[in-house]
């Protein structure tokens, strides 16, 4: 299954909402191909369509028109159950709000997506610890979310997004609730994961975050208006 070269292929994708003032095209005729292991930063002002586009790619919302191919699957052809399974097994989400479950430890939070995927509890914990190491939180698994900093909570959410076999991460303003130094650490963590093979599409309205991207996709009024190479494009590595 899947295409080795492209994780995500969008063509003519549109999401239309009916409103009293007429139809609103939250996402309007978007074409985009994202390579395996690529780090895309989605830039655009509030209301430009970033969240809607991420929700379409992640199968949380259905397109009004166009074609979305994600990890080799044509999303329009999937039942809700198959879509839910694709999300659980292969796609991780990170949001602006620090949304770990407060009554679970970091390790338990990160292991959560593996439950119901057939691995034993011990194996799930082992993979959770592995994911925590990948985001620089080695040893913090037993802590509860309120016992670590906001940046560490967000990195744990990133670990949850990439735990096990998951290799597509969709992050919606993951640095929006963080100060700039902590936000930079989170972007660096995302960059390092992409260098190890994860594909990431990350929305932000902070222009400083372009530095970490392979490509910066700028949206306006639901359309892609510009695609430029990010600073990481030539080296493929961050310093
Ligand atoms: P961004 O994440 O870039 O701020 P959004 O994707 O949230 O942008 O929104 C894009 C446009 O779609 C905005 O004009 C917004 O008002 C509209 N929109 C988003 N969700 C809905 C909805 N559920 N119903 C109606 N309009 C919506
Ligand atoms: Mg948004």
Q: Which residue has the higher pLDDT, 215 or 230?
A: 215
Helices and strands per DSSP (H, E), number in the chain = 6, 10
- Is residue 200 included in any domain, yes or no? yes
Q: Which residue range forms the structural domain that includes residue 112?
A: 37-55+80-235
Give the nearest ligand 1 atom to 46 CA.
Answer: 4
CATH number of 189's domain: 3.40.50.300
Any atom of ligand 1 within 6 Å of the Cβ of 24: yes
For residue range 86-107, list pLDDT tens digits in order: 998 899 999 988 889 999 999 9
Residue 230 has pLDDT above 90, yes or no: no
For residue range 20-73, list pLDDT tens digits in order: 989 999 999 999 999 999 999 999 999 999 999 999 999 999 999 999 999 999
Half-sphere exposure of 49 (CA within 13 A, CB side): 25
Residue 3 has pLDDT above 60, yes or no: no
For residue range 103-160, list pLDDT tens digits in order: 999 999 999 989 877 899 999 999 999 999 999 999 999 999 999 999 999 999 999 9
Report DSSP state, residue 127.
H
Any atom of ligand 1 within 6 Å of the Cβ of 52: yes
Instruction: Please tell me the predicted confidence (pLDDT) of residue 4.
Output: 53
For residue range 158-169, list pLDDT tens digits in order: 999 999 888 899
Instruction: Name the CA radius of gyration of the chain, rounded.
Output: 17
- Is residue 75 included in any domain, yes or no? no
- Is residue 74 included in any domain, yes or no? no
d(CA 43, CA 230): 12
- Is residue 195 included in any domain, yes or no? yes
Instruction: Please tell me the predicted confidence (pLDDT) of residue 238.
Output: 44
d(CA 57, CA 17): 17
Task: Report which bound ligand comes closest to the CA of 26.
Answer: 1
Encoded tokens for 183: 């936000």
Specify burial of residue 43 (Cβ count, 10 A radius: 0-12, 13-18, 19+).
buried
Residue 207 has pLDDT above 60, yes or no: yes
Give the nearest ligand 1 atom to 19 CA.
Answer: 25
- Is residue 13 included in any domain, yes or no? no
Longest dimension (CA), the chain: 55
pLDDT (average), residues 155-184:
93
- Is residue 128 included in any domain, yes or no? yes
Residue 214 has pLDDT above 80, yes or no: yes
pLDDT (average), residues 184-207:
94
pLDDT (average), residues 169-188:
94
Residue 236 has pLDDT above 50, yes or no: no
pLDDT-derived band of residue 233, with 50, 70 and 90 as boundaries?
low
Report DSSP state, residue 206.
-
d(CA 121, CA 150): 27
- Is residue 10 included in any domain, yes or no? no
Any atom of ligand 1 within 6 Å of the Cβ of 149: no
Q: How many domains does the chain have?
A: 1
**Which residues have beta carbons under 5 A from ligand 2 (an ion)?**
50-51
Query: By three-state DSSP, how is residue 58 classified?
Result: coil
Closest CA to ligand 1's atom 12 = 26
Q: The whole model's pTM is what?
A: 0.92
pLDDT-derived band of residue 185, with 50, 70 and 90 as boundaries?
very high
- Is residue 178 included in any domain, yes or no? yes
Specify burial of residue 144 (Cβ count, 10 A radius: 0-12, 13-18, 19+).
middle
d(CA 141, CA 136): 11
d(CA 58, CA 52): 10
Give the nearest ligand 1 atom to 55 CA.
Answer: 6
């Amino acid at each position: 299954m899947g295409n080795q070269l492209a994780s995500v292929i969008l063509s003519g994708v549109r999401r239309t909402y009916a409103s009293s003032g007429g139809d609103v095209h939250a996402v309007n005729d978007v074409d985009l191909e994202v390579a395996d292991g690529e780090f895309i930063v989605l830039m655009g002002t509030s209301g430009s369509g970033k969240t809607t586009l991420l929700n379409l790619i992640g199968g949380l919302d259905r397109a009004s028109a166009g074609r979305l191919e994600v990890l080799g699957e044509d999303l329009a052809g999937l039942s809700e159950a198959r879509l839910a399974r694709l999300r659980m097994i292969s796609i991780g989400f990170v949001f602006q709000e620090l949304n770990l479950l407060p009554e679970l430890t970091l390790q338990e939070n990160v292991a959560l997506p593996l439950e119901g995927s057939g691995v034993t509890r011990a194996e799930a914990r082992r993979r959770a610890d592995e994911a925590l190491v990948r985001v620089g939180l080695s040893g913090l698994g037993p802590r509860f979310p309120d016992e670590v900093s906001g940046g560490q909570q967000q990195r744990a959410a990133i670990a949850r997004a990439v735990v096990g076999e998951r290799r597509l991460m969709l992050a919606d303003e993951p640095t929006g609730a963080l100060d700039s130094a902590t936000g930079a650490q989170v972007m660096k963590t995302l960059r390092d994961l992409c260098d190890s093979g994860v594909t990431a599409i990350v929305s932000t309205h902070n222009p400083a975050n372009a530095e970490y991207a392979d490509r910066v996709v700028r949206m306006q009024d639901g359309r892609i208006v510009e695609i430029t190479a990010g600073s990481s494009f030539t080296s493929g590595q961050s310093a």
